Amino acid sequence: MIYLEVPKSLKPFVNQAHQVAKHLFRPISRKYDRAEHEYPKELDMLAALMDGLKAGSGQRRAGIDALQRDEQRKEGVRNGANMSTCLGLTELCWGDIGLALSIPRQGLGNAAITAVADSEQKERFDGVWAAMAITEPGAGSDSANIRTTARLDGDEWVLNGEKIYVTAGSRADSVVVWATLDRNLGRAAIKSFIVPHGTPGMEVVRLDKKMGIRASDTASITLTDCRIPKANLLGNAEIDTKKGFGGVMQTFDNTRPIVAGMAVGVARAALEHTRKLLAKEGIEVRYRGSLFRKSAAEAELIRMEADWEAGRLLMLKAAWMADNGIPNSMEASMSKAKAARVANRVTLRCVELCGGLGYSEDELLEKWARDSKILDIFEGTQQIQLLIIARRLLGKRSSELR
């Protein structure tokens, strides 16, 4: 049975994350919003602290649980790495999304390693900070349309292609690159490879300027006859037309609830701050009585809080299912689609409710509104999430419902 309160065992971790957001992220949030592409050095100490907390808690990283679903179902109900990561990032993104995305060794590529790599690779790449390179100029929302190639030459893979919108692409130690072994075999031939920075043939060619999450770097990378060891292919090189692509896509079943948690965090920040600003103007939110007897601002805040709660509950359900070995592909997409859309709407509406003050840089509301939009885009756009949900509900394959 799923419980809707923060598990007692995770409360210290959640509180730690909230203190980091409040006392570290919030004070430097505007600084790194203005200084795009400048690395937040304050995060180095935080990364070391988080490594210590993880080692002490015994929690596994989000993603690894997906590989042990059957074993976990025998153990009974549990709250593991997926739940703790979602709750932790909810608090961190209450502080700042861009800074949360910039914490060393917390990249999307790390989730891919734990979800797809074998035991030897997990040990070998332990402690690596890995970015994830999926999107290409001709392959955006449809990851199966990837054109970057990987060719085996003796004991080395040779990679050729171009990747764009790589979060932490210039800062991470390595990049997990999605590439195809054979374009003629479609999805089944797509595999993921770890390419360490400094590998000849891999080059960061551009850092993008963005509307939001400016503390986080977003890079474009080219791969030109880039050679990596044969052992750097995550998992195995066997092409299975039934589940080959499902292996790498499994990463998203663990990370989409995490994005939902990020959205829940920034939306909560906007709601709380808006309530405080309105209170200074004499507008107090009263929860008893009919909405029709309240001011327009009160009623709007209450409606947004209800919408926010729906996103939060979907996030909890998707993370809980992953921790308990229950297939959660549809629920992961539901949580991401709902929470991200709620975050967009809530942050923008809070700016409107606070008028000129919400629009100015005197407050963080306008920044949260800019930052929140990316949550509706990366890890699969809103439209892609709805398509995935429709396929699951109708029992259709991707070839049958596009």
Determine the 3-state secondary structure of 209 from DSSP.
coil
Examine the pLDDT at 292 and tell me if it is beyond 60: yes
Distance (Å, whole) CA 332 – CA 66: 13
Residue matched to tokens 């809103």: 382
Asked whether residue 315 falls in the same domain as residue 200, the answer is no
Q: Which of 1-10, 158-167, 168-177, 363-372 has the lowest mean pLDDT?
A: 1-10
For residue 272, the domain's CATH number is: 1.20.140.10
Return the minimum-mean-pLDDT range out of 26-35, 113-122, 264-273.
113-122
pLDDT of residue 69 exceeding 70, the answer is no
Please give the pLDDT value at position 211: 96
- Examine the pLDDT at 57 and tell me if it is beyond 70: no
Residue 1 belongs to some domain of the structure: no
Q: Evaluate whether residue 237 is within a structural domain.
A: no
Looking at beta carbons, which pairs linking 11-20 to residues 24 or more positions away fall under 8 Å?
13/53, 13/57, 13/59, 13/84, 13/87, 13/88, 14/87, 14/88, 14/91, 16/53, 17/87, 17/88, 17/89, 17/90, 17/91, 17/92, 18/91, 18/94, 20/46, 20/91, 20/92, 20/95
User: Residue 344: inside a domain, yes or no?
Assistant: yes
Q: Is 238 among the domain residues?
A: no
Q: How confident is the model at residue 393 (pLDDT cuts 50, 70, 90)?
A: very high
Output the pLDDT for position 63.
35
Using the 3D structure, point to which of 232, 256, 280 is the last residue of a domain. 232
Is residue 336 domain-resident? yes
pLDDT at 186: 78
pLDDT value, residue 221: 98
Residues 18 and 114 in one domain: yes
Indicate whether 253 and 365 sit together in one domain: yes
Domain endpoint, select from 232, 258, 273: 232
pLDDT digits over 128-159, tens only?
999 999 999 988 767 778 999 999 999 999 99
Q: Is residue 293 domain-shared with residue 350, that is, in the same domain?
A: yes
Q: What CATH number did the domain enclosing 176 receive?
A: 2.40.110.10
Kindly state whether residues 300 and 383 are assigned to the same domain.
yes
177 vs 75: which has the higher pLDDT: 177
pLDDT digits (tens, 9 = 90+) for 23-41: 999 999 999 999 999 999 9
For residue 54, the enclosing domain spans 8-124
CA distances from 389 to 11, 248, 320, 375, 382 (A): 32, 19, 18, 18, 11
In degrees, to the nearest 5, what angle opens at C-alpha 327 toward C-alphas 322 and 331? 75
Domain presence at residue 400: no
> Hey, which residues are catalytic here?
379
Q: Are residues 46 and 109 in the same domain?
A: yes
Residues 312 and 178 in one domain: no
Same domain assignment for residues 178 and 213: yes
For residue 151, give the DSSP letter.
E
Same domain, yes or no: 94 and 13:
yes
Q: Do 176 and 120 belong to one domain?
A: no
112 and 202 part of one domain = no
Residue 390 and residue 250 share a domain: yes
Question: 1: pLDDT confidence band, cut at 50, 70 and 90?
Answer: low
**Among the listed ranges 15-19, 134-138, 286-290, which one has the minimum average pLDDT value?**
286-290
Domain count, the chain: 3
- pLDDT value of position 184: 85
